[in-house]
Amino acid sequence: MILSGIRVLDLTRLLPGPFATQWLAAMGAEVIRVEPPTGGDWLREMPPFMEGTGAWFAAVNRGKKSVAIDLKQPEGRELFLRLVQSADVVVEGFRPGVMARLSLTPESLLSQQPRLVYASLTGYGIGSRWRERAGHDLNYLALAGFLGLNGPREGPPVPPAVPVADFGGAMALLIAVLAGLLYRERTGYGIILDASIFEVVVTWMQPFWRAHRAGLRAGREGMPLNGVFPCYRVYVTADGGAMALAALEPAFWQAFCNAVGHPEWIPRPFDPALIPEVAALFRSRTRREWEMLRETIDACLEPVLEPEEAIRSLDDLAPALQKEIPSLPFTVDGQRLVAMGPPPRLGEHTMEILKGIGIESADLEDLARRAIIKV
């Protein structure tokens, strides 16, 4: 495995941080969730439930271990520092200042483990005046301008059903950690990293803002990729379904026009005035009829699947991802990387991990009686 022998202490909760560290687990790292003895990650208790655990929690925490330590207690912090000495990576997603109040600053942890890769996942980033402000996916999308471009022209913007900012932040965190490990291997030194969810969305928006300043005004339904071109739109079918046409390249658009008997459309892929004609054509056939047509041409024409349909389609489209075991979307020497094992119960591995760093059983039992750890 790519990251065999790498120990990650994961202090993150909810969705983005655990999503990133699960990828590390799938790559072979030992990921140890460090959670408070009471409560732990709230995502465990969020419905719906599968086998007694929140489905969202299970989806992003397979293949990990859980150690329950009260970091607010001096003895708990001492245990954590002992763990840091055995770790390669620490990942946390607290607001800036929380680790300092716990006397666990990045600098203090690197003094314990000079080769440590310390990575924070923050909302607005350490350089922002809003760095201590609370935020969630929808807030970041709103402030970056992403949300303002989402949805039909009439009415309010539509929040995306998928928390794209959270997942984008997770990917930025993952890239930072992997780069940090490479840096450590090259230099022998640890490093302090910060990934900002908001800044990820801003980087996505930069091409649109540059085009906006150059004269292509950003707006809902008014840009090349959100409906202004007849060759790149979602069209409603006769039975209320929808088809996604993405025939941007001339060859694809030409194939589509010839297949539907409208060769006169070929010179007009970017003519907004053509949209009503193409829309009327799509409304003349059912989605199934369009699906049958798309099987005969190479034109980037696909049905818009409902969730149940998309799940069923994985057997053909992405067989390696059809099961609920988290598999990474790339292979290594042809092998698929998977986060094996169920999600951990709160404190399930406390005894195992702490004994492994030299803490005696009697001491652990005493700590458990005083609720500093949970076993």
Same domain, 31 and 163: yes
pLDDT at 324: 65
Among 97, 90, 123, 133, which Cα is nearest to 14's? 123
Alpha carbon 90 to its chain's center:
19
Lowest mean pLDDT among 36-45, 96-105, 158-167, 311-320: 311-320
Q: Are residues 301 and 338 in the same domain?
A: no
> Tell me: the pLDDT tens digits for 4-24?
999 999 999 999 999 999 999
Spell out a b/e string for 211-242, using b for 16 or more CB atoms within 10 Å of the CB, else e.
eeeeeeebebeebeebbbbbbbbebebeeebe
Domain that holds residue 62: 7-203+324-374
How many domains in the chain?
2
Length of the chain: 375
Please answer whether residues 38 and 371 qualify as being in contact, where contact means their C-beta atoms are separated by less than 8 angstroms.
yes
Taking each helix axis from N to C end, the angle separating 137-144 and 164-187, rounded to the nearest 10 degrees, works out to: 90
User: For residue 269, what is the DSSP state?
Assistant: T
Q: Give domain status of residue 214, yes or no.
A: no
Residue 321: which pLDDT band, with cuts at 50, 70 and 90? confident
Whether residues 365 and 290 share a domain: the answer is no
pLDDT surpassing 90 at residue 318: no
| Measured distance CA(130)–CA(141) in Å, rounded | 15
As a whole number of angstroms, the distance between CA 274 and CA 231 comes to 9
Average pLDDT, the chain: 94
Same domain, 191 and 237: no
Positions of E strands within the chain: 7-10, 30-35, 49-50, 53-54, 65-69, 89-92, 117-122, 191-196, 232-236, 242-246, 301-303, 327-332, 335-338, 373-374
The pLDDT tens digits for 60-114 are 999 999 999 999 999 999 999 999 999 999 999 998 899 999 999 999 999 999 9
Give me the active site residues, please: 136, 166
Of 129, 140, 99, 73, nearest to 9 (Cα)? Answer: 99
Residue 269: what are its φ and ψ, rounded to 5°? Answer: -65, -25
Output the domain CATH number for residue 41. 3.40.50.10540
The pTM of the whole model exceeds 0.95:
no
